[in-house]
Structure 1
Amino acid sequence: MSNISDIELNQLRLLQLIFETKNLTRAGERAGLTQSAVSHTLKKLRHSFNDSLVIRQGNKLVLTPRAESMQTRLNRWLNDFERNILIQEEFEPLYSSRTFYIATSDLVEQVIAAPLIKHLSKVAPNIHLIFNKLDKHSLASQIESGEVDFSISVVESSHPSLMVTTLYRDDFLSATRNGHPFLGTKRDAQSFCRYPHILAGTGKDNRGMVDDVLEKMGLSRDVQFKVANFSSAPHILESSDAILTAPRKFMEVIADKFNITAFKTPVNLTSFSMKLYWHVKNKDDQSNRWLREQIVQIARGEDHMPEF
C-alpha cells in the first residue's frame, strides 16, 4: 500500500525529472540536488509508493509498469498545480470590471474622485468605484470586514491588520465671496473675527481647530452656519458674508467653480497628512496594489508609478 501522506511536493517534482531524463545525475542537476540527495529521495519515494519506480538495465534506467502508468498523470497534475495554484492570475486593468470600495469623507471625494475617475476611464474603463462614508471610529473594522478595500482619512491608526501610506500633506486657506469687505482690510485675526463663519463637520459642537487657535490668542469667532458636508459650503460662501476655512486642496478645487476669493488664513493652523489604508492580507494582491498605485499617483500629482 502507498504511503501518500509521506510524499512531499518537491519529491514529486524530482520524480517527474527522473521519469523524463531516465538519468539520476541529470535529474539531480535540473533539481539542484546532489547525487546523494537524489538517491535518498528516490529511496523514500520507492517506500511511499511501494514500488521500485525505476530500475537499472545496463547503463540506463527504465520505468516500472507502475511508473509508466503514472507518468502522464503526474505531469498533468504538477502542471495544473503550478498553473492554477502557484501562479497568480494576471490582473489586466484594461479588461477588468472589478468593483472597488473606498471609505472616505466628502472632502476627499471633492479632491480625489473626479481626477481619479478621469484617469481610470483611460486605463481601466470598466472598473467600478464605490465611495462609502468613512466611519472614523471604525476605520479598521470597515477594512477588516471586507466592507471596503481602502480608507482615505486623516485618522492615525496603528492597527496591526492595516497598512498605510501618506497620500499628501495639506494646510489651510480661508475664502470669502468675491467683493467681500474683509478683502479690503488688513486681513489680520481681529478683522477675521468680525465676520460670520462657516464650519463644516459632523461633530456635536460648533467648534473647530480655528476656534481653538483663536481662543489661545484671546479671540473668538461667530460660527453662523454649520454644514455636515464640505460640498455645500461653497454655495453658502458665495451668497453670504461668511468666511470658510478649509484644506488648501479643497479650496483649489472649488476656486474656479464659485465666485469666491481664497486667502491665507490669518491664524497659524497645523498642517496634516491624508493617509491611504488597506488590509495587510492584500499587500501582494495585484488588483489591490494596482489601484492604490493609481490613487497615490493622482493624489500626489505624480507622473510615474510609486513604489510600496
Structure 2
Amino acid sequence: MKLESLDLNLLMALHALLEERNVTRAGRRLGLTQPSMSSSLGRLRRHFGDELLIRFGNTYELTPLAATLVDSTSLAVNVVDRVFSARPQFDPADSDREFTIVTSDYVVSVLGGELMRILEERAPQVRLRFLQINVPRVDDIDTTLRSIDGLIMPHGFISAHPAVDVYTDGWVVIADPDHPDLAGGLTMEHLRTLPWVVTFRGPTAIASAARQLTMRGVEPNIEIVVENFQSLPFLIPGTRRIALVQERLARKLAVLGNFAIHPCPFEVVPILEAFWYHPVHQADPAHRWLRETLVEVGERIELPA
C-alpha cells in the first residue's frame, strides 16, 4: 500500500464513524450529507475488506476489526492535526489551537482554576482537552506521548522523555472526624491495622506514598480501590477507613467538613509533579508556550490553609 494513494479525508471519515457509530451523525460532524458519508463508508469497507459497522435494529455496532482501529485512528488524527496546525510562530491571543493533556483529577483540581484564569486573559480561544490518566497510558508511555501534547504526573514513573517541573505537594491521611481509634492521633500501628481506600494498584500505581509505606514494611489493609482521587473523601465519613491524599487536594476539599486531616506518622518523600512530553514537541513554539504557562501556574498556586 502506498501512502500517496490514500485520501486523508477517509481518515477523518473513519474517525467520525468509529466514534459516532452512526452514518448520519458522523456526516453531520464532518459537515457532509448522508449520501456522501455513506459513500465514504463504502470506500472504507472496500479498503479494509470489512463491514466496520453492522446494523443491529436501530443501532450500529463495530466489527472486531473496527474496534481495534479506534485507538490507532484517534492517534493518527491527532498527529495529522498537529502537523497541519504547526506554525513558525505562536500568538496565544489569536490562536484557536487545542492542547490535549493526560493527567489525574487531582492535578486538574490543583492547577485548573489558575490555568483557566491565564487562558481567559491571554489565550481566550485556546482549547484544552484533559484525558484521565490510567495504567495502560503510563505503561505505553511512548505511544501516549506521541498522541497528545503531554502528561502531568510525578517523577518516578517516566524516564527517557523530557519534562518541566510544575509544582510540589505533600501527603496527608484523612479519616472520619469522629474516628474512634484516632482521638490520640494517627500512628504507624493505625496504618497497619485500619482499613484503607486507595487509588490504583499495580506497578504503575500513581499514589507513590503508598509504595513508600510498603518499603517500611507496612502492607495496607485495602478494602476499596478507586481510579480517581477526588472520590476518596466521600468513602471515608462514618467508617473506620483511612486514605492517603495529596495535601493540596485535602485542603481544597476540607470545606466539605466531612473528614479530618492527619499528618503522616512517617517521613514521606514529597511529590514533584512534572509535565512530560515527547521530544518531537521540543521546538514547537505553541508547545513551548504551553510548557511555560504550566510552569507559571505552578509558581502561582498556593497551598490552601
TM range (shorter): 0.5 to 0.7
Matching residue of 1:137? 139
8 Å contact kept, 2:171–2:209: no
The yes-or-no answer on 1:237 pairing with 2:239 is no
CA distance in 2: counterparts of 1:274 and 1:232, whole angstroms: 20
Aligned to 2:119: 120
User: 1:206·1:223 contact (CA, 8 Å) conserved in 2?
Assistant: no
Q: Which residue of 1 aligns with 2:78?
A: none
Does the Cα contact within 8 Å between 1:214 and 1:220 map onto a contact in 2? yes
Q: Corresponding residue for 1:100?
A: 99
- 8 Å contact kept, 1:182–1:192: no
Q: Please tell me the root mean square deviation across aligned C-alpha atoms, in Å.
A: 3.1
**Structure 1 residues 215, 228: closer, same or farther in 2, change over 3 A?**
closer
Counterpart Cα distance in 2 of 1:273 and 1:131: 20
Q: Check 1:152–1:216 CA distance in 2 against 1; reply closer, same or farther (3 A cut).
A: closer
Instruction: Give CA-to-partner distance per residue, 1:78-134, whole Å, 9 cap, x none.
Output: xxxxxxxxxx65422222211000112233223223332233122222211001233
Larger gyration radius, structure 1 or structure 2 = 1
Question: Normalized against structure 2, the TM-score is what?
Answer: 0.60
For 2:250, the equivalent position in structure 1 comes to: 251
Q: Please give the alpha-carbon distance, in whole angstroms, between the structure 2 residues aligned to 1:206 and 1:276.
A: 18
Contact 1:199 1:226 in 2 (8 A): yes
Q: TM-score, normalised by structure 1?
A: 0.59
In the alignment, the residues of structure 1 paired with residue 204 and residue 163 of structure 2 have an alpha-carbon distance, to the nearest angstrom, of: 30
Change (3 A) 1:101 1:255: same
Contact 1:172–1:248 (CA<8 Å) still a contact in 2? Answer: yes
For 2:248, give the aligned amino acid: K
**Aligned length, in residue pairs:** 212
- Closer, same or farther in 2 for the Cα pair 1:275/1:215, shift >3 Å? closer
How much does 1:165 deviate? 1.6
3-state SS, counterpart of residue 230 of structure 1 = coil
Alignment of 1:47-86 (within 5 A): none
| Aligned-pair CA distance for 1:167 | 1.6
Amino acid at match of 2:148: V
| Alpha-carbon separation, structure 2, partners of 1:150 and 1:270 | 24
* Structure 2 stretches lacking a partner, 5+ long: 1-86
Aligned to 2:60: none
Q: Percent identity?
A: 22
Greater relative contact order (CA < 8 Å, ≥ 6 in sequence): 2
Q: Distance in 2 between matches of 1:215 and 1:287?
A: 41
Task: Return the offset for 1:157.
Answer: 3.5
Q: Which amino acid aligns with 1:137?
A: D
- 8 Å CA contact 1:234–1:258 kept in 2: the answer is no
Mapping of residues 117-266 of structure 1, within 5 Å: 117-134=116-133, 135-144=137-146, 147-154=147-154, 155-159=156-160, 162-203=161-202, 220-266=219-265
Determine if contact 1:213/1:268 at 8 Å carries over to the other structure. Answer: no
Report the residue type matching 1:153 in the other structure.
M
Q: Which runs of 5+ in 1 are unaligned?
A: 1-87, 304-308
Verify the 8 A CA contact 2:169 2:271 in the aligned structure 1.
yes
Q: CA deviation at 1:233?
A: 1.1
Equivalent position amino acid for 1:250 in 2: L
Aligned partners of 2:174 and 2:233 also within 8 Å: no
Per-residue CA distance 1:169-225 (angstroms, 9 max, x = gap): 333111113232344124221234443211111439999766665566665542222
Report if the CA contact (8 A) 1:199-1:206 is conserved. no
Contact 1:139 1:151 in 2 (8 A): no
Per-residue deviation, 1:272: 3.3
Opposite residue 274 of structure 2, the aligned amino acid is K
Q: Which residue of 2 aligns with 1:5?
A: none
CA distance in 2, matches of 1:183, 1:193: 13
Deviates more, 1:196-205 or 1:275-284: 196-205
